[in-house]
Amino acid sequence: MFLKRQMPAIIAIGVGLFILFGHFINNPNIQGFVNNDATQWFDIIASFAIFLGALNMLKLQVVKVVKRSKGWQYSLLAIFGFAFAIFAGFFFRGANYITLTEINPHKVNILVEYISTIQEVDDPVLMASRIEGSLASYEIPKIFISKATAESFAVSLSSIANNVTLGVKPWGAHVQIKGSLFSWMFFKIFTPLSSTMFALLAFFVASASYRAFRIRNFEATLLLVSGIILMIGRVPVGELVPWWLVSTLIVFGIGALIAPFIPNKKLLFGIIIGGITLSSGIGVLLDWNLAVNIPGFLSLPNISEWIFDYPTAAGSRAIMIGIALGTIATSFRIILGIEKPF
């Protein structure tokens, strides 16, 4: 019972207070622990904890496959994906490379041609000059996933250089090297899948906006109007919206605001028409048609920038302060042991 209840609380309170006040204590060991070691402890624990999660996920998928539950084929895909990533990361480097030493300077162009058969060469002249600058030792800028492919290509290069050696990139670096199996998996499978999921947001934003942006009350109307201004103002189409359209919309907006106070609809209509005529007339007189000296408030991109710089920044700051205070209070409760989420 002590291990399950009191011990976690003691650890949380002790470490919490130590880290909090450690920021202020003038001791290099404490500063080092607080600034570096404490976070690294968490990273190490989290890295080992990944096994728990991965095993749990595997267990659930395997059970689905064994029991032939509904959609078990997708579980098979999940298990295969998991196994493939482990294989590409831990068991199969797939990052073979070829190094040529003592290259024959008269065969540099032939070498460039050979390389262009296995990968795209944007600038053969630049590549040739690079090879000429490294005749003593040059690494072919191509990573081969399989050793067999590397070997067969190496055979074709034997007449070009004195020595053709095969190498494998070190463990760890093989994950990052472009062309390796893991890198291939990342760019050809993971990247399109992630991009697709993110792209779904565009469709969901459209359906959410369509459903939610309604003129129900003043706040909803404000949300709608600022949303439309920002959506159009932030893209190049905003530059194409003419000043007179913006001034007309502003007049309509003012009309909507004063409408509850003017019961006579004909008078209201007259005011709106008068406002539109006046603003358009002023624009024509001041040569706004020539797209010079247009006031900032008649340009949608300028209005959207103003919304970003002032109301958005102010609201964002207020929410940030509120969230920061909430975070402080929650942290305080955890440090004092009042709240025990563990």
330 binds another protein, rule: CB under 8 A: yes
Complex with another protein: residue 77 or 282, whichever CB lies closer: 77
**Number of residues in contact with another protein, rule: CB under 8 A?**
102
Per-residue x/- track, 27-56, another protein (CB under 8 A): ----x---xx--xx-xx-xxx-xxxxxx-x
- 337: Cβ contacts below 8 Å, ≥ 6 apart: 9, 12, 13
Q: Nearest approach, Cβ of 177 to another protein (angstroms)?
A: 8
76 binds another protein, rule: CB under 8 A: no
Q: Nearest approach, Cβ of 287 to another protein (angstroms)?
A: 20
Residue with tokens 């459209």: 206
Tokens encoding 57: 């996920």
**Cβ atoms within 10 Å, residue 9:** 14
Are 127 and 112 contacting, i.e. CB atoms less than 8 angstroms apart?
yes
Looking at 178, 252, 269, 270, which residue binds another protein (CB under 8 A)? 178
305 binds another protein, rule: CB under 8 A: yes
Are 75 and 65 contacting, i.e. CB atoms less than 8 angstroms apart?
yes
Looking at 66, 86, 125, 201, which residue binds another protein (CB under 8 A)? 201
119 binds another protein, rule: CB under 8 A: no
> Which of these ranges, 90-98, 101-109, 223-231, 274-282, lies near another protein under the rule CB under 8 A?
223-231
Looking at 235, 267, 273, 278, which residue binds another protein (CB under 8 A)? 235
188 binds another protein, rule: CB under 8 A: no
287 binds another protein, rule: CB under 8 A: no
Q: Nearest approach, Cβ of 182 to another protein (angstroms)?
A: 10
Q: For residues 108 and 111, what is the distance between their CA atoms, to the nearest angstrom?
A: 5
Burial of 61 (0-12, 13-18, 19+ CB in 10 A): buried
Q: For residues 100 and 166, what is the distance between their CA atoms, to the nearest angstrom?
A: 9
**Cβ atoms within 10 Å, residue 150:** 20
Nearest to 184 by CA among 79, 93, 58: 93
Q: For residues 277 and 258, what is the distance between their CA atoms, to the nearest angstrom?
A: 18
200 binds another protein, rule: CB under 8 A: yes
290 binds another protein, rule: CB under 8 A: no
26 binds another protein, rule: CB under 8 A: yes
213 binds another protein, rule: CB under 8 A: yes
